[in-house]
Structure 1
Amino acid sequence: MNHPNISTIDLNLLRVFDSIFRERNILRAAHQLGMSQPAASHALARLRHALKDDLFVRSARGMQPTPRAEQLAGPVRQALNYFELGLQSGPFDPATSAQRFTIALDNASAVTLTAPIIEAVTKAAPNVVTELRPSGTLDIDRMLDEADLGLFIGRAREPRERFASEELFSDDFVVVHRRAENMPSPPLDLKALATRPHIRLSSAGDNTDFIDLWLKEHHAHREIRHSVPLLGCEAVLRQHDVLVITRRRIAMELCRGTGLVSDELPFVAPRVATNMRWHRRLDAQPAHSWLRQIIRQTTLDYRLIEAATARKAQG
């Protein structure tokens, strides 16, 4: 079988291929590349001829890749990624750069870190663009591989050699509720945890079975009245006399200016780590190194604020 020789292919055609593969639409791909639709169609025709494959077939869902295109997509994207990194290997000046960073965050990180990250990046690099995306339905590792994401922030994921990971901080758990007249002074006691109804956060990704195990050891149990998403739990807590057990940083955000309060658990709760995860090809890339340092400093500042708030609360 005769394979195409790389020397016979215009490498600019690979950018067209990559864009069509991503967009599934020639017009959108052309706009993304700053070229006309006829020019993009002509480039695709040339690549089809060189590779002797249709590559994309029109359908009701757009331009669907052939098996050959699916096979090529990963290596082409990776090659383009490394080429782009080579072009960006010079010094990074945050004061003048207009680079775009795409970051995915899990729900807990989105609630607690979105505002601090935007504030820190805007202050240090006023022209840099950050696209922060919820990670819930994303294939994080594939998107890091293909450079659709530069960074993931959230709970630790399965270690893989091609990815680097760094812990930013860890949280324990507290109880959030509206203050009721007959609520005992903190920390909450066994009776309060067992007799007051609870709600469970359905989108925070945390397993709070540890509270059930502790109650069982004390011959008690709790009633979980509802499961609600993190973004909707504040309104439920303000309107109903219920408890929710959640990470301390989430609790801080829920209680900020809402009239809700957080209390300590009557036992030492487990801790959950929040990590950064990125592809190792970006380890020494100046812009990405700068971004990671900004996020490290942001979370350090956040920890200092937490410590100061705790000292103030203690007297």
Structure 2
Amino acid sequence: MRDRATELAEPVAEILARVRRVIASAEPFDPARSTRRFTIGAPDAVSSVLLPPLLDQIRLLAPGIDIGIRQLLPRQGEPSPTTAWSDCVAELEARAMDVAVIPFDGLPARFTVDKLYEEDFVVATRAGHRFAGDPCLDAYCSVQHMVVSNNGDPNGFVDRVLAERGLSRRVALTVPNFMFGLAVLAQTDLISAYPRRFLAMYGGRFGVVGVDAPIRLGHFNINSIVPKVALMDAGLAWLVGLLKQSGNAARTGPA
């Protein structure tokens, strides 16, 4: 019991120190007059969906507030979401960003998790690609694939889904974000798993279309994640509320 108390002493002390810092620096928050900058971490396919309605609200309600976006992606090749997103959660706890918006909700009770919208994946291809005419599983495995990976690792969740059926694919290219990937897909015969809402919003600009996959590629809740102690900050609590409104707009928008 004594060893366990010693083990818990440091994290508890850090939480109490954060509470004291928040209380000591607390000031009335007026969004209309504030000039704060908030940092939101998210995959670009998520931030691109949420930013248009979020920035519209900020322009109307808080024109002096600035937003910074950090690109977040899971570790490639990890067998579980908990380990795949652990780096992002650690950065959030270190206050490298104010809010994380990621497709993960298996977090300890010290975090507040709010569902913003739901997302699933489709197969993205250039318009006129032969796969769109015959989107069967054999065709899916035989064409060359592009994977969005922040570290160049080609192994992702699609490979796990295929491996469960004894199948595999060739990943011919990795790119660092979804938006850049649209330009690549538009000019090549590569295909890629893409979030449905993101592709519906931006694919048409590049001549890239979405095709339902011949296998289920996953369904995710897109959640805002904040340490509970941080929500004592009235400004951050306001931002989380604004993100919820942006999530409502995403749910009613194109999908």
Q: Which residue identity is paired with 1:209?
A: D
Q: Does 1:202 align with 2:149?
A: yes
Q: Which structure has more RCO (C-alpha within 8 Å, separation ≥ 6)?
A: 2
**Closer, same or farther: CA 184–157 of 1 in aligned 2, 3 Å:** closer
> Deviations along 1:176-204, whole A, 9 cap, x unmatched?
01123644547x22343133222222239
**Closer, same or farther: CA 163–184 of 1 in aligned 2, 3 Å:** closer
In the alignment, the residues of structure 1 paired with residue 215 and residue 137 of structure 2 have an alpha-carbon distance, to the nearest angstrom, of 10
> How many percent of aligned residue pairs carry the same amino acid?
22
* Candidates 104, 113, 120, aligned match of 2:57: 120
Q: Secondary structure at the match of 2:238?
A: helix
In the alignment, the residues of structure 1 paired with residue 202 and residue 136 of structure 2 have an alpha-carbon distance, to the nearest angstrom, of 22
> Deviations along 1:3-39, whole A, 9 cap, x unmatched?
xxxxxxxxxxxxxxxxxxxxxxxxxxxxxxxxxxxxx
> Deviations along 1:108-136, whole A, 9 cap, x unmatched?
32343334422332222112222222346
Structure 2: unaligned runs, 5 residues or longer: 1-12, 76-85
For normalisation by structure 1, the TM-score amounts to 0.61
Q: Secondary structure at the match of 1:172?
A: strand
Structure 1: unaligned runs, 5 residues or longer: 1-71, 308-315
- 1:141-152 mapped onto 2 (5 Å cutoff): 141=89, 144-145=92-93, 147-152=95-100
Q: Which residue of 2 aligns with 1:166?
A: 114
In the alignment, the residues of structure 2 paired with residue 239 and residue 291 of structure 1 have an alpha-carbon distance, to the nearest angstrom, of 38
* Candidates 22, 25, 34, aligned match of 1:81: 22
Q: Secondary structure at the match of 2:206?
A: coil
* Candidates 242, 246, 250, aligned match of 2:190: 242
For normalisation by structure 2, the TM-score amounts to 0.73
**Closer, same or farther: CA 276–184 of 1 in aligned 2, 3 Å:** closer
Q: Which residue of 1 aligns with 2:34?
A: 97
Residues 74, 146 of structure 1: 8 Å contact kept: no
In the alignment, the residues of structure 2 paired with residue 83 and residue 73 of structure 1 have an alpha-carbon distance, to the nearest angstrom, of 15
In the alignment, the residues of structure 1 paired with residue 143 and residue 109 of structure 2 have an alpha-carbon distance, to the nearest angstrom, of 46
Q: Which residue identity is paired with 2:20?
A: A
**Closer, same or farther: CA 144–196 of 1 in aligned 2, 3 Å:** closer
* Number of residue pairs matched by the alignment: 228
Select between 93-102 and 273-282 the one with higher mean Cα deviation.
93-102
**Closer, same or farther: CA 286–79 of 1 in aligned 2, 3 Å:** closer
**Closer, same or farther: CA 305–206 of 1 in aligned 2, 3 Å:** farther
Q: Does 1:110 align with 2:57?
A: no
Q: Which residue of 1 aligns with 2:180?
A: 232
Select between 161-170 and 100-109 the one with higher mean Cα deviation.
100-109
Q: Does 1:130 align with 2:67?
A: yes
